[in-house]
Chains A and B, each alone.
Chain A
Amino acid sequence: MNVYDVIVIGGGVVGTAVLRSLSAYHSKVLLLEKSSDVACGSSRANSGIVHAGYDAETGTKKAYFNVKGAAMYPSLTAELDVPYKKVGSLVAARKDGLPALTVLRDRGIANGVDVRIIERDEILALEPNIADDIVYALYAPEAGIVSPYQLTIAQADHAVVNGAEVRLEEKVIAIDKTQGGFVVRTEKGEYSARYVVNAAGAGGAEVNALVGEEAYVETHAVGDYFILDRKESGVVRTVVFPLPDERGKGILVAPTADGNVILGPTSRKVPHEQAEENAVTAAGLQYVREGVARLMKNVNVRSAIRVYAGTRTAIGSDFIIEESEKVEGFYMILGICSPGLTSAPAIGECVAEEIATKLTLAKKDSMLPLPASFRFREATPKEIALKAQEDPAFGRIVCRCEKVTEGEIVRAVHSPVPARTVDAVKRRVRAGMGRCQGGFCQPRVMEILSRELGIPMTSVRKGDAGSEIAPYEVKDGYETL
């Protein structure tokens, strides 16, 4: 049996953050993920906001990790080459909203966040398209935007480069407590470890149940989003929120780190069995449209290139980040809803440090860097000419909309956490994320996956098992290129 120091269950932004931080120590660590890729739960479908930290109640774990995590983002994303921009955020309020803004401001100051209330003229200078009746806003210049799935993938890749293992499509079905550790069983194998970290997101309560820990009551909220065409990118510059209410932070309008515009999310409670369904509703989309219209002018929702839904799971009002009192060596990181993305790097660092201390793992002098990336759409003509000469595949554009080359796709398939599905390729290199949504490039991406993985075209999947895209061969004639 494979023996590890630590097994992390769940490959979201939290689990991969823990894994990456653990790989900074001399350690043998493994991450088990039930889906075909990391970043398949909440980490792939959220707003992608690095919150400044004024929202969470002072003294909570949320406030602590939010502020600490936000401060890590500039250097972390630079190190991992993940799209991130510090664009600032506004909580926009009408005339009667000043008292509520003041509460947020004071909380922000108590949390150690740079925030101030600004008035109409200054708001207009930041957001020319703000709605006419917005006269006050809470401005937090430190807020940012990030690609949440690219961060998750990069954390996992970086951990693997530094010796960690990631096993995909391994759903944990049993955890046995042994002398001095655990045996974790999946449908594919058995692994033993001294520590187990439950970072299973929406599946966290189920994993808890496997060791007899408390099956916390989770609430799952589904949010609908629109992503707008890149050509609309000028309409909003900062992250614009309405005043928060009891349901959450409300419908925001923001640029994305990849150059689109994001609108949403709603907050619709769903039962546990629907937590991973992520179905968009017509009512939800309408709610987003109305929310956007109250906040901003000139936002052309008709230029949406994609609508989707994501689920966030909460337990009570704060994060759960603790070692089990009942089961020694079982660490729980649960209920990581907003500001979970912002907090994740800090949570990862903190949990890894605690575990390393307990297991007396020595810290490495330094971590190996990720291999240098090449993004055609960001390259200069000179760089393109050079790269294409070096390897013609980097001169062959596969995704027209996002200008992604075959070379980038091949590299994604052979990356530290390999992309094995069309969606995994899409999350890594953006092939299919543009305005035609893969209408042109998807068959070509499938061909590359088939060739590079040595699997038949009929086995190429969109995502998890059962999502084969073209499962049958044709009988009749067809043209071969």
Chain B
Amino acid sequence: MKHFDVVIIGGGPAGMAAAIGAREQGASVAILERDVRLGGILNQCIHNGFGLHYFGEELTGPEYAERFRKKVLSDSGIKVYLEAMVLSLTEDRVVTAVSPTEGLIELSAGSVVLAMGCRERSAGAIGLIGTRPAGIYTAGMAQRLSNVDGFLVGKEVVILGSGDIGLIMARRMTSEGAKVKLVMELMPFSSGLKRNIVQCLQDYDIPLRYSTTVTRVTGKERLTGVYVAPVDDKLQPILEKEEYISCDTLLLSVGLIPENDLIAGSAIEMSRITSGAVVDEYRQTSVPGIFSAGNVLHVHDLVDNVSEEAYVAGTAAAKYARGAIEDTPCMQVTTGTGVRYALPQRIHKGEGTVRLYFRVDKVYRGMTVTARSEGVLLKKKKTMVLAPGEMQYIEIDKSLVMGDVCVALEE
């Protein structure tokens, strides 16, 4: 069995940034990536808008990935296993994988970084009503088919869900000559970025209807149309207002789910809200030596944040592997009014600053974000607009923290 200081599961943006973080600490690193090359989902995101925060310039997904890939591949201290699917991970950090070139791979690890990303919610998961024809795709699958394989799934398109991939695909399919007839969102607000709503829908006169859903799909071999209806405040469709829209394509952009199947049933404590692990500020899970970062931890809207988070995790994983992380007592990070979750969920006592990332539960205007410990205000931040689709953070000074920290919105 080969040993590495840090074994990283997943070679997307999170895995690559974690590898770079770990290497800067001098650790030996292995990346297990299931695709034929590093980069993950960035490889199919050929639009630009990546890297504004991290690199201070606007890059496409493949360009953003290439910057990391170059660095990783030129570093002889990083062993990259491609087409390697991880089958199991034990609590004492033995990783078993399989690949066509290496066969069965067994690695022992000083520490492990989980960087498996996320997957899309499917038609089955939302209980789509009607027939089962061709023509219904998750937005990411349609994106992969058009941007990697070079094939377009249809010409008359309706999109359910206003997640970022759905918005991006509305523009992409329009640019390929398809007619995007409608984008609808079950909630009264979008889960996508404001800039995507403007640049992908408004700029192309694509209508977006909130509080609306698909009630039924029709067609035997190929989709022929969808029925859509507004929903009431319990999100139930108002069938008297149902209308029919003919189309050959329905794209679903109805949510992303951290892909934590590998650790299902393990001792790692999970969050019901994020569907990812519960972590400290190093992104260490409840099982010492196992770290988690990127979309497998919680779904991000900007890859820049993924890179930053995974760099932190990779750095800490390397320190753990050489016994340089002290196990100091932790304080809990809790949430108050308006905040759906905050991450990390616990922080160690000590010095320095830490960023508490959070998402709000609906759209808020003119609120103040506060971080309090035992009622004492640690930090506050005035905001114009807060939306669930845009992750925020508030930075606190650890030395000021007395006990548990609560992130909340106040008038």
The chain A residues found within 8 Å of chain B, CB to CB, are: 226-227, 231, 276-282, 285, 304-308, 381, 384-385, 388-389, 392-393, 395-397, 400-401, 403, 406, 435-440, 442-443, 446-447, 457-458, 461-481
The residue in chain A whose Cβ has the minimal distance to the Cβ of B133 is A467
- Give B256 Cβ to nearest chain A Cβ, in Å: 11
A-facing residues in B202-238 (Cβ within 8 Å)? 215-216, 218, 220-222
The residue in chain B whose Cβ has the minimal distance to the Cβ of A386 is B103
Q: Which 10 A-B pairs have the closest CB atoms?
A: A392-B100, A306-B124, A470-B151, A466-B221, A437-B122, A467-B134, A462-B134, A397-B85, A472-B152, A385-B104
The residue in chain B whose Cβ has the minimal distance to the Cβ of A436 is B119
- Give B246 Cβ to nearest chain A Cβ, in Å: 16
A307 touches B127 (CB 8 A): yes
User: Which residues of the partner chain A approach B34 to less than 8 Å between Cβ atoms?
Assistant: 397, 400
The residue in chain A whose Cβ has the minimal distance to the Cβ of B106 is A381
A-facing residues in B126-162 (Cβ within 8 Å)? 127-134, 138, 140-141, 144-155
- Give A422 Cβ to nearest chain B Cβ, in Å: 9
| B99 interface contact, C-beta 8 A | yes
Q: What are 17 A-B contacts with C-beta separation under 8 Å?
A: A279-B129, A280-B130, A282-B129, A285-B129, A385-B103, A385-B104, A388-B104, A395-B102, A397-B98, A400-B261, A439-B119, A439-B122, A439-B140, A443-B145, A462-B133, A466-B134, A467-B133
B119 touches A470 (CB 8 A): no
User: Which residues of the partner chain A approach B102 to less than 8 Å between Cβ atoms?
Assistant: 395
Given that A393-B100, A457-B151, A472-B152 are contacting pairs, would A437 and B134 also be in contact in the complex, using a CB cutoff of 8 Å? no
> 18 more A-B contacts (CB under 8 A) besides A395-B98, A478-B150?
A280-B130, A307-B128, A384-B103, A395-B102, A395-B103, A395-B104, A396-B100, A403-B87, A435-B125, A443-B148, A447-B149, A462-B134, A463-B134, A465-B221, A468-B134, A473-B150, A476-B176, A480-B150
| B305 interface contact, C-beta 8 A | no
B222 touches A473 (CB 8 A): no
* A464→B132 CA distance, assembly (Å): 12
Q: Out of B36, B128, B154, B261, name the residue touching A471 (CB < 8 Å).
A: B154
User: Which residues of the partner chain A approach B140 to less than 8 Å between Cβ atoms?
Assistant: 439
The residue in chain A whose Cβ has the minimal distance to the Cβ of B37 is A481
* A305→B99 CA distance, assembly (Å): 27
Given that A277-B131, A304-B125, A400-B85 are contacting pairs, would A474 and B176 also be in contact in the complex, using a CB cutoff of 8 Å? yes
User: Which residues of the partner chain B approach A438 to less than 8 Å between Cβ atoms?
Assistant: 122, 141
The residue in chain B whose Cβ has the minimal distance to the Cβ of A391 is B100
- Give B197 Cβ to nearest chain A Cβ, in Å: 22
| B177 interface contact, C-beta 8 A | yes
* A285→B125 CA distance, assembly (Å): 13
B124 touches A440 (CB 8 A): no
Given that A395-B103, A397-B85 are contacting pairs, would A439 and B141 also be in contact in the complex, using a CB cutoff of 8 Å? yes
* A481→B147 CA distance, assembly (Å): 10
Q: Out of A276, A389, A442, name the residue touching B141 (CB < 8 Å).
A: A442
User: Which residues of the partner chain B approach A436 to less than 8 Å between Cβ atoms?
Assistant: 119-120, 122
| B284 interface contact, C-beta 8 A | no
The residue in chain B whose Cβ has the minimal distance to the Cβ of A463 is B221
User: Which residues of the partner chain A approach B182 to less than 8 Å between Cβ atoms?
Assistant: none
The residue in chain A whose Cβ has the minimal distance to the Cβ of B178 is A472
User: Which residues of the partner chain B approach A397 to less than 8 Å between Cβ atoms?
Assistant: 34, 85, 98
The chain B residues found within 8 Å of chain A, CB to CB, are: 34, 36-37, 43-44, 46, 62, 83, 85, 87, 96, 98-104, 119-120, 122-125, 127-134, 138, 140-141, 144-155, 175-177, 215-216, 218, 220-222, 261, 264
User: Which residues of the partner chain B approach A439 to less than 8 Å between Cβ atoms?
Assistant: 119-120, 122, 138, 140-141
User: Which residues of the partner chain B approach A467 to less than 8 Å between Cβ atoms?
Assistant: 133-134, 221-222
- Give B405 Cβ to nearest chain A Cβ, in Å: 32
Given that A277-B220, A395-B99, A475-B176 are contacting pairs, would A307 and B44 also be in contact in the complex, using a CB cutoff of 8 Å? no
- Give A184 Cβ to nearest chain B Cβ, in Å: 25
Given that A385-B103, A388-B100 are contacting pairs, would A472 and B151 also be in contact in the complex, using a CB cutoff of 8 Å? yes
A307 touches B124 (CB 8 A): yes
* A308→B44 CA distance, assembly (Å): 31
B100 touches A395 (CB 8 A): yes
B149 touches A470 (CB 8 A): yes
B62 touches A479 (CB 8 A): yes
- Give B155 Cβ to nearest chain A Cβ, in Å: 7
The residue in chain B whose Cβ has the minimal distance to the Cβ of A421 is B134
Given that A396-B100, A397-B85, A463-B134 are contacting pairs, would A443 and B175 also be in contact in the complex, using a CB cutoff of 8 Å? no
* A173→B257 CA distance, assembly (Å): 48
Given that A279-B130, A436-B122 are contacting pairs, would A473 and B98 also be in contact in the complex, using a CB cutoff of 8 Å? no
A304 touches B129 (CB 8 A): no
User: Which residues of the partner chain A approach B175 to less than 8 Å between Cβ atoms?
Assistant: 476
B104 touches A381 (CB 8 A): yes
Given that A388-B104, A474-B146 are contacting pairs, would A279 and B131 also be in contact in the complex, using a CB cutoff of 8 Å? yes
* A177→B259 CA distance, assembly (Å): 60
User: Which residues of the partner chain B approach A395 to less than 8 Å between Cβ atoms?
Assistant: 98-104
The residue in chain A whose Cβ has the minimal distance to the Cβ of B85 is A397
A282 touches B124 (CB 8 A): no
- Give B60 Cβ to nearest chain A Cβ, in Å: 9
User: Which residues of the partner chain A approach B37 to less than 8 Å between Cβ atoms?
Assistant: 481
A396 touches B128 (CB 8 A): no
Q: Out of A285, A307, A389, A475, name the residue touching B177 (CB < 8 Å).
A: A475
* A438→B120 CA distance, assembly (Å): 10
- Give B353 Cβ to nearest chain A Cβ, in Å: 38
* A279→B145 CA distance, assembly (Å): 27
* A481→B101 CA distance, assembly (Å): 18
User: Which residues of the partner chain B approach A464 to less than 8 Å between Cβ atoms?
Assistant: 221
